[in-house]
Amino acid sequence: MERTTIGYEKLRSYLADMLEKGLGYDRQTAETGAYVLAEADARGHASHGAARVKLYHDTIQDGDAVADGKPEIVHETPVSMVIDGHSGSGFASSKLAMDRTIEKALASGACMTAVRNTGHFGMAGVWAEMAADRGMIGIALTNTVRAGIPLFGKERLLGTNPICVAIPRGEKPHFLLDMATTTVALGKIEVAARRTGIMPAGWFVDEEGEDTQDAVKAEEISRSGTNPYGGMTYLGGTDETMGAHKGYGLGLLVELMTAGMSLGNPTFDTYSGKGGLCHYFQATRLDLFGDAGAIEAHVEYILKTLRESPKVLGRDRIYIHGEKEHENRKKSLEEGVFLDPATWKRLDYYADLFGLPHPEP
């Protein structure tokens, strides 16, 4: 029988074992990582789910990360921290960072934390929402590996540099904006390469800095560890008319808040013997601005007004960021988490490599 879905808890516990026994993470980091990956699949973001075991394994194999690297708080004030990830897992440093950021924010009202020399932390949303789960505004930013081109440039010096902000609204699912500042994620270029080889204009510029629709070439360029030319555009594409300078500015802002504030590696210096990447986290108590309950209700009033306003022909819904993922998650918890055939196959591959049993539906 073909495997399609897997129980959420089963997936989580399987991934925890794989990250611990296969990659060498300590048990707590393995459990954190398994949670992050399972959540991504449960919410319908397969690009950040179980299939990413490959990325984490590769980074250790390539010597760019150390499985048991322990994050360390190297600077702190009542409202801030700087953490050195010591080339360890992004799950370990992000867990420490958000746990302590929330603690400090509970005591001081707000806390801002910059992390350097860390690893890929999975889907940004799970970190920002940890603060929202405690009634606070949460922010999570990260730089990545070389992906995007500064406007009018040819070299991919910046990352996909996501911005994630979570705002609680009482009983309702959080407002959760979680967006790469590049026009699209690499996953979309891969899909285009596989299907037709052609992608929309405005997503990618080639080695000469010219807009290209060749998805196969774009994927090849993106995966090259040696050729730094050509890369993704930022929100707004290649054209100032459509605001390309704004998207580039947002990507650059993330770079400055992560690498700049942590004194860590900018995307263009990440790995290649120079150590890991950088995050930025923030938690802000709602009652800094008065009655937290009234604020949550007011936020919900704004969102409700949008949601109930007239829709364009052919659309029956105005989305609030995070709602779609919340609904997917609910369904996944009830009916099982869908994994596509490629992901099942990849898990089998790593199970064999690590001497673990294959995952079962």
Question: Distance of alpha carbon 43 from its chain centroid, rounded?
Answer: 13
Integer CA distances (angstroms), 350 to 46, 103, 230, 330, in order: 17, 37, 32, 28
59 φ/ψ angles, rounded to the nearest 5 degrees: -60, -35
Least distance CB 16 / a second copy (angstroms): 32
If the CB atoms of residues 249 and 336 are measured against a second copy, the closer one turns out to be 249
If the CB atoms of residues 29 and 93 are measured against a second copy, the closer one turns out to be 93
16 binds a second copy (CB under 8 A): no
Binding mask 260-299 for a second copy (x = CB under 8 A): xxxx--x-x---------------x-x-xxx---xx--xx
62 φ/ψ angles, rounded to the nearest 5 degrees: -75, -5
The C-alpha atoms of residue 110 and residue 178 are separated, in whole angstroms, by 21
Site for a second copy in 171-210 (CB under 8 A): 175, 177, 179, 183-184, 200, 202, 205, 208-210
Question: Would you mind telling me the total number of residues written for the chain in this entry?
Answer: 361
Using CB under 8 A, which of the segments 58-66, 127-135, 157-165, 326-334 binds a second copy? 157-165
Q: What letters, b where the CB count within 10 A reaches 16 and e where it falls short, cover 42-53?
A: bbbbbbbbbbbb
Q: Which residue, among 66, 127, 67, 117, has the nearest Cα to 94 in the 3D structure?
A: 127
94 binds a second copy (CB under 8 A): no
Q: Residue 272 class from Cβ within 10 Å (0-12 exposed, 13-18 middle, 19+ buried)?
A: middle
Q: Residue 294 contacts by C-beta under 8 Å, 6 or more apart in sequence?
A: none
The C-alpha atoms of residue 70 and residue 66 are separated, in whole angstroms, by 9
Using CB under 8 A, which of the segments 21-29, 41-49, 250-258, 340-348 binds a second copy? 250-258
**Residue entry with tokens 């504030």:** 261
If the CB atoms of residues 26 and 287 are measured against a second copy, the closer one turns out to be 287
Site for a second copy in 22-41 (CB under 8 A): none
Residues 209 and 153 sit within 8 Å (Cβ to Cβ): yes
Least distance CB 277 / a second copy (angstroms): 13
How many binding residues for a second copy (CB under 8 A)? 80
Using CB under 8 A, which of the segments 24-32, 91-99, 255-263, 344-352 binds a second copy? 255-263
Binding mask 103-142 for a second copy (x = CB under 8 A): -----xxx-x-x----------------------------
Site for a second copy in 40-79 (CB under 8 A): 75, 77-79
165 binds a second copy (CB under 8 A): yes
If the CB atoms of residues 289 and 349 are measured against a second copy, the closer one turns out to be 289
Using CB under 8 A, which of the segments 39-47, 156-164, 217-225, 340-348 binds a second copy? 156-164
